[in-house]
Chains A and B, each alone.
Chain A
Amino acid sequence: MIDLKSWQPMVIKSFLLYFLPKNKEEIIKSLAQYSFCEVLPSTNKNVLIITLESEDPQAEKIRISTIENLPGVESLMMTFGASV
């Protein structure tokens, strides 16, 4: 049973992540360790698509900050957001 009092909708967002080419493998490796996101790399550009799942705004803020602070990440641009 879902406890409706404590239940928070999961928020799913997608982003385009721009990175420096030299850090590509390292970034993908780091992101792969996080259970809250999935990664789809472009096959021909220095861009990744990231889907990020967060249970509350605070968690989302921390996760975005974690990603943005990975070495070689140039920018993170949101393309979609919705609650489950």
Chain B
Amino acid sequence: MQIAEKTRREFIKELAISAALVSASSLIPGILFARDQATPTLENIDWKKTPCRFCGVGCGLLVGLQAGKAVAVKGDPNSSVNKGLCCVKGYHSILALYGEDRLTKAQIRKNGKMVEVPISEALDLVALKIKETIKEHGKNAVSIYGSGQWTIPDGYCASKLFKGAIGTNNVEANARLCMASAVTGFLTTFGIDEPMGCYEDIEHSDVFILWGNNMAEMHPVLFSRMLDHRQKNPHVKIIDFATRKTRTSYASDHSIYFVPQTDLAVANAICHEIIAQNRVNQSFVDANCAFKQGKTNIGYGLEDDFKFKDELSDIDFKKYSEYLKDYSAQKVAAYSGVSISDIKLLANYYGDPSKKVTSFWCMGPNQHTRGTWINNLIYNIHLLTGKIATPGNNPFSLTGQPSACGTVREVGTLTHKLPHGVVTNQEDRELAEKIWKLPPGSIDSKPTHHTVSMFRALDRGEIKFMWIQVTNPMVTMPNLKRYRNGALKDGRFIVVSDVYPTPTTEVADVVLPSAMWIEREGFYGNSERRTQHFEKLLDPPGEAMSDTWQLIEIAKRLGYEHLFPWSEKEHIEKIWAEYRLFHDNPKHAMAPYDELKKNPGLQWPFVNGKETKRRFASKSDPACDQSREFDFYGKPDHKAWVIFRPYEPPAESPDKDFPFWLNTGRVIEHWHTGSMTRRIPILHQAMPNSYAEINPEDALELGVKNNDWIKLSSRRGEIRIRASVNGRGIPSKGQVFVPFFDESLLINELTLDAYCPISNQPDYKKCAIKVERV
């Protein structure tokens, strides 16, 4: 009795602290607590390290285990990422393991109803359907769609099975929806993917420019590091460059609001000012930069048969400067909503040689019909001023998912990619065929479908079979109705591997219960090139199985056991050893398994037992030509490319019928579509439903008060949702913001499936809607 009472008391105290943590995180941008100070003294706890699975920052956690359950969480003080701190999602992350409706058994659709079956029966059916589909419709009628939450072994096995064994490039991941523009930005400017800097640059910077990046809610631990740095160094400035007032704006020194899409013009205006004020770092530019231009009027990908290939051609600095004359501060101020003085302020921060500048961005520039361009343009600013690859000078593209970098970008789970290089390159294909022990010519040289194209092909019936793992596209696809209806059409067979029921499992023919995160061994790779290993700490419930092992089981049933000859006990270690062979060079060498097991994470390139903090600077990067100060070795000319990209309008802008902009995004309490965090009571209670932020002036004109029901409609769909006026965020006049985490309010039924023609990443930040009071 006494024990029960004490346990209940401690439980309620934990709830009380959790509630306070959530409230504090919601109210105060960047607030952090060293939680272990408050954790009740729990005896016989075994603490194990793991990365957090709820964003791309890659915080190190220590999970407390007791009697076969995860019972406590604290930040890992040995992790250089978060130094013992955690955000509200991290602290509550283990509760996502224990939701009441956790999927523990496989299900098969029989006579229109899902029935539970042994997982072996479900796996047999999946393998049979793959075989039948390939036999009747060809190998390109089957596909797999994963995510940046795939562990590295998951993605590796998916790529090996589908690209290598089956021979189709129908492999995509939801990271296409969140950071494909970052990849093409890196590839076009530097010829090699992923940030050159590291989080440690935060403690060296004088100025932070946040490009459409609500870090206070999306990357709270990094944001808190920035605030902490500013608190200790009052000269440090944080500039919020955004389309709406957010928690980040409140904590920034200055907010600059721009009209959607005109970030392109403002970035060019900054470069124009830097040149006009004679603040180009000429010696850096002469030694390290080449000037290019690409195609213009490149379209928006709205047509099913849309095709585009960019071509870059040489220009010189003079020609580049001439192009920028269309982007004087005066001209750009006229349509961007940004004042001349604010353009000059930004140019002064970037151009001042005495200031170290870090730019951060994430979904704002990436989910953009000119996403590759705006990534290029931010790099242009850093290249013209030489503020790159040195402590505190860092153009840093952040990611949103725990292994968008590690799995999707490094393993290459996109249609055109391989673990090293691309399918179109013969040498890269030959390397993969050699490592995978495949006959020459096994890998198709043609990319097939990027994500939007893949779901369009499913709708048209060219793809008949799709296996979806660790993601929820029936909430996240833009222009959602088309793709949900497509998945439900006759003749389509959908397999979904997940941990909870979602709108995506609702369209499935087979549901496979997945082991979650620390219920299996794996690796993630975070935004700063840090690979993080985690052990299997818990047994998964029921028949739940890791996505890696599901893929191996299917491979065996398809007759590819010889390609996946590993035992369940050692398969992760063996996969890692094989995967490392793809990156056996100083530009991308990965740390050995044993080293990763010992450390909270290690940054690649890992050469001679050492991490590489900053790439392209010879002092810190062993891959550089040591005779140069900087070596942008991703390009054949060893230079970074300053690419002129113009302003072009978005695919859809407000008009008289649909007079508002719609912007979508996330909230601090929920991870992506909320399929896990909405099962965490404290997070769900803190943010139970989505809402529509509208500008107070617009609300007054519409006669809408806070919490009133309103109808939002676009040319594609409509929803009824409660208005938020003067709430957490305040959009600029004429704009509406809606978070996408709520599966009962599918905002993506309104969004447009326009995408960047270079990255093929959709734009979730701009389409036209109508707002009506109901």
A77 and B24 alpha carbons, distance in the complex (Å) = 10
Interface pair A47/B17, CB less than 8 Å apart: no
Residue B518, interface by CB 8 Å: no
Residue B438, interface by CB 8 Å: no
Residue B117, interface by CB 8 Å: no
Interface pair B20/A44, CB less than 8 Å apart: no
Interface pair B19/A44, CB less than 8 Å apart: no
What distance in Å separates the Cβ of A50 from its nearest Cβ neighbour in chain B? Answer: 8
A38 and B21 alpha carbons, distance in the complex (Å) = 14
Interface pair A14/B16, CB less than 8 Å apart: yes
Residue B319, interface by CB 8 Å: no
Interface pair B31/A42, CB less than 8 Å apart: yes
A17 and B33 alpha carbons, distance in the complex (Å) = 13
Residue B128, interface by CB 8 Å: no
Flag A1-15 by CB within 8 Å of B: 1 or 0 each: 010000000101111
Query: Contact check: which of B1, B5, B24, B231 meets A16 at CB < 8 Å?
Result: B24
Residues on B with C-beta less than 8 A from A47 are 24, 28, 31
Residue B315, interface by CB 8 Å: no
Looking at B6-14, B49-57, B167-175, B277-285, the stretch in contact with chain A turns out to be: B6-14
Residues on B with C-beta less than 8 A from A38 are 13, 38
Interface pair A40/B231, CB less than 8 Å apart: no
What distance in Å separates the Cβ of B531 from its nearest Cβ neighbour in chain A? Answer: 27
Interface pair B24/A49, CB less than 8 Å apart: yes
Residue A35, interface by CB 8 Å: no
What distance in Å separates the Cβ of B228 from its nearest Cβ neighbour in chain A? Answer: 5
What distance in Å separates the Cβ of B683 from its nearest Cβ neighbour in chain A? Answer: 14
Interface pair A12/B16, CB less than 8 Å apart: yes
Residues on A with C-beta less than 8 A from B5 are 84
Residue B330, interface by CB 8 Å: no
Residues on A with C-beta less than 8 A from B21 are 49
By Cβ-Cβ distance, the 10 closest A-B pairs, closest first, are A80-B19, A14-B16, A40-B38, A14-B20, A49-B20, A79-B23, A79-B20, A80-B16, A45-B31, A79-B19
If A40-B38, A49-B20 touch, whether A12 touches B31 (CB-CB below 8 Å) is no
Q: In A21-76, which residues have CB < 8 Å from any B CB?
A: 38-45, 47, 49-51, 53
User: Chain B residue with minimal CB distance to A80?
Assistant: B19
Interface pair A43/B20, CB less than 8 Å apart: no
User: Chain A residue with minimal CB distance to B31?
Assistant: A45
A51 and B14 alpha carbons, distance in the complex (Å) = 9
Interface pair B35/A40, CB less than 8 Å apart: yes
User: Chain A residue with minimal CB distance to B682?
Assistant: A80
Flag B586-606 by CB within 8 Å of A: 1 or 0 each: 000000000000000000000
A43 and B87 alpha carbons, distance in the complex (Å) = 12
Give the size range of B's interface with the partner. Answer: 20 to 34
Residues on B with C-beta less than 8 A from A45 are 24, 28, 30-32
Interface pair B23/A44, CB less than 8 Å apart: no
The SS class assigned to the A binding surface is strand
Supplied contacts A16-B20, A43-B34, 4 more A-B pairs, CB within 8 Å: A15-B20, A40-B35, A44-B227, A45-B32
- Listed in ascending order, the chain B residues whose CB lies under 8 Å from chain A are 1, 5, 8-9, 12-13, 15-24, 27-28, 30-35, 37-38, 85, 224, 227-228, 231
If A45-B28, A84-B5, A84-B8 touch, whether A12 touches B34 (CB-CB below 8 Å) is no
A78 and B191 alpha carbons, distance in the complex (Å) = 53
User: Chain B residue with minimal CB distance to A18?
Assistant: B28
What distance in Å separates the Cβ of B571 from its nearest Cβ neighbour in chain A? Answer: 40
If A16-B23, A45-B31 touch, whether A82 touches B16 (CB-CB below 8 Å) is yes
Interface pair A44/B231, CB less than 8 Å apart: yes
Interface pair A44/B15, CB less than 8 Å apart: no
What distance in Å separates the Cβ of B257 from its nearest Cβ neighbour in chain A? Answer: 26
User: Chain A residue with minimal CB distance to B85?
Assistant: A43
Interface pair A14/B17, CB less than 8 Å apart: yes
What distance in Å separates the Cβ of B136 from its nearest Cβ neighbour in chain A? Answer: 58
Interface pair A42/B33, CB less than 8 Å apart: yes
What distance in Å separates the Cβ of B343 from its nearest Cβ neighbour in chain A? Answer: 32
Residues on B with C-beta less than 8 A from A14 are 16-17, 19-20
21 A-B pairs whose Cβ atoms sit less than 8 Å apart in the complex: A10-B9, A12-B12, A12-B13, A14-B16, A16-B23, A38-B38, A40-B20, A40-B37, A45-B30, A45-B31, A49-B17, A49-B21, A49-B33, A50-B20, A51-B13, A51-B38, A53-B13, A77-B23, A79-B16, A79-B24, A84-B5
A49 and B88 alpha carbons, distance in the complex (Å) = 14
Interface pair A84/B12, CB less than 8 Å apart: yes
Interface pair A80/B20, CB less than 8 Å apart: yes
A13 and B28 alpha carbons, distance in the complex (Å) = 20
What distance in Å separates the Cβ of B216 from its nearest Cβ neighbour in chain A? Answer: 12
A26 and B647 alpha carbons, distance in the complex (Å) = 56
A51 and B558 alpha carbons, distance in the complex (Å) = 57
Interface pair B32/A49, CB less than 8 Å apart: no
